[in-house]
Amino acid sequence: MATLQASPSEVTESNLRGQKLPAATSWAVAAGSIAISALIFALTGDSFNKARFAVLAALLFVVLLTGLSFAVEGRRQATDRLFTTFVYSAFVLAVAPLVSIIYYTLSKGIGVIDGGFLTHSMFTISEDSFGGGAYHAIIGTLIVTGIAAVFAVPIGVLTAVYLVEYGQGKRFARLVSFFVDVMTGIPSIVAGLFIFTFWLLALGFQKSGFAGALSLVILMLPVIVRSTEEILRLVPHELREASYALGVPKWKTIVRVVLPTAFSGIVTGVMLAIARAMGETAPLLLLVGTQAKINFDPFADPISTLPTFIYSQLGSAAGNPDAPGTARAWGAAVTLIAIIMLFNLLARFVGRFTKARG
């Protein structure tokens, strides 16, 4: 009597087919992991610590979910769940510091911000007394960063255009790319020392917002060049070839086709560079100094910025968390974060508006 044998495809499907855990299993295992962690802390009498509790609960969640999946679903599904858990855990670990920093800064500084804080300077206000604001530092931050962007953005974008469109296989282009990589790793204080030696000592100029802007240009350039270079490489070559086929010169193809196509990505890279420049402190302390009143002239006298304002206010507080300077420093930190977020939202709006029009 002949026996029927299953085909290889049927055998493979039968091996892969297995029971599936309910959709709510992950939530149930997470709740169980938290309960077991709490029980372990209670039985051992260990003092409660949020970080250790979270680590213990996460490890229990991975072990319990993987073991349960292995028993019910099989080795393949258990391995898939294990590495999926690792991916999500890596995402949480990457986001957690950012969320915690924003939450802690807002909790400390949001109560300080009011109309007076945003519209008044520290002129005639003692650092040991309440009152005053960061208006002069906000103006100084916008002036210094704006000057730096005026120089860094066109130089960075044009450098990226040269590397992508004209520098393929050229020795000079490789040299430029090498120095851009070197500039990426330059500490901010080194850029400040270079401008201090060149601008203040060699040329004899005094501390000013323009000197600080020059140091920020050095820090912004590699970010703009690398981000713009990567975006320009993503522009399809078919667009360039179609333009060349119509007899359009290369420079006009770059201006009319390549750059508009990559505009939103270029704007994002520029905003990343501006965000980095706004938060720099060391070169500005060295080149710009601090000022208690508003200074609209970037070429004369010190000018206060938000990072230097935070530094000076914390210095006046002398480590006292209840001092007025500490409160003003947290308020200035919240203001700086808000300005950077506003610029990023504006950049996203410009990028989407450009895509919609295109």
pLDDT band at 73 (very low <50, low <70, confident <90, very high): confident
Q: Are residues 158 and 85 in the same domain?
A: no
- Shared domain for 102 and 129, answered yes or no, is no
**205 in a structural domain:** yes
Q: What is the pTM of this model?
A: 0.79
**Number of domains the chain is built from:** 2
Among the candidates 73, 90, 109, a domain finishes at 109
Domain span holding position 292: 118-357
Q: How far is CA 258 from CA 156, 165, 228, 289, in A?
A: 16, 10, 11, 42
- Mean per-residue pLDDT of the chain: 86
The CATH number assigned to the domain holding 302 equals 1.10.3720.10
Structure tokens at 98: 């950012």
Residues 150 and 297 in one domain: yes
Q: Are residues 309 and 200 in the same domain?
A: yes
Statement to judge: residues 166 and 50 lie in one domain: no
Could you tell me if 238 and 258 lie in one domain?
A: yes
pLDDT tens across 21-40, in order?
887 888 898 899 889 988 88
Residue with tokens 């003692």: 126
Q: Which two tokens stand for residue 227?
A: 């981000």
Judgement on whether residues 79 and 130 belong to the same structural domain of the protein: no
320 belongs to a structural domain = yes
82-128 pLDDT, tens digit per residue, is: 888 888 878 887 888 888 888 999 998 898 888 888 888 888 887 77
Is 210 found in the same domain as 73? no
Predicted confidence (pLDDT) per residue in 326-352, tens digit? 889 999 999 999 998 888 888 878 777
Q: Strand, coil or helix: what is 23?
A: coil
Joined tokens for residue 242:
């179609």
Question: Does residue 204 form part of some domain?
Answer: yes
319, 293: one domain: yes
Domain boundary among 109, 132, 150: 109
Q: Does residue 338 fall inside a structural domain? A: yes
